[in-house]
Amino acid sequence: MEEVKESSINLISELVDLTFNIVQGGASVGFMEDLTVEQAKKFWTDVLNKVKEQKIILIIARDAFTHRIAGTVQLQIDLPSNQTHRADVAKMLVHTDFRRMGIAQNLLQHIENIAIDLNKTLLVLDTVTDSPAYIMYQKCGWTIVGDIPNYALFPNGTWCSTTYFYKSLSIKA
């Protein structure tokens, strides 16, 4: 696991490749099938600018042999002043070549530990209802808040429901 501290052309290119893999795989992650390289670059440039501004923590997991990005997750910590005790987990993306290897669970555990170190006591996330991620979050001790039907679209334009989860964290003494 690696916490990203600064941007590079190579890093943006790798993140764009990961995003295309996820979208082409049909995952609802905020992009449609007509995603362009320019749109993906802008998204990741904006994320990396927020990393620099300390508004987002970005973690990446790399394959030990190829050093390709296998997955990534974000901890969004720039919240209103009445919510400084919590953070949002976002954009848990695992490349299709690296699924079912425990990468998502490791990314999640790593981001939870960072949140604890930042004295966050509550994490919130959302995912597609009944997706593999939905099942994984339950196995990792996250609590379902509820489902919202027709909340978002899959990349092909069909509706999907979204489930919100939360996890209470214990702060280290």
Question: Looking at residue 145, what is its pLDDT?
Answer: 98
- The C-alpha atoms of residue 119 and residue 170 are separated, in whole angstroms, by 9
Once rounded to an integer, what is the mean pLDDT over residues 88-114? 95
CATH topology of domain 2-125: Aminopeptidase (3.40.630)
- The C-alpha atoms of residue 42 and residue 83 are separated, in whole angstroms, by 28
Question: Looking at residue 151, what is its pLDDT?
Answer: 97
The length of the chain is 173
Question: Looking at residue 29, what is its pLDDT?
Answer: 93
In the structure, what pLDDT confidence band is assigned to residue 171 with cuts at 50, 70 and 90? confident
So where are the chain's domains?
2-125
Residue pair 111/75 in contact (Cβ under 8 Å)? The answer is yes
Residue pair 72/65 in contact (Cβ under 8 Å)? The answer is no
- Where b means 16+ CB within 10 Å and e means fewer, 4-26 reads beebeeebbebbbebbebbbeee
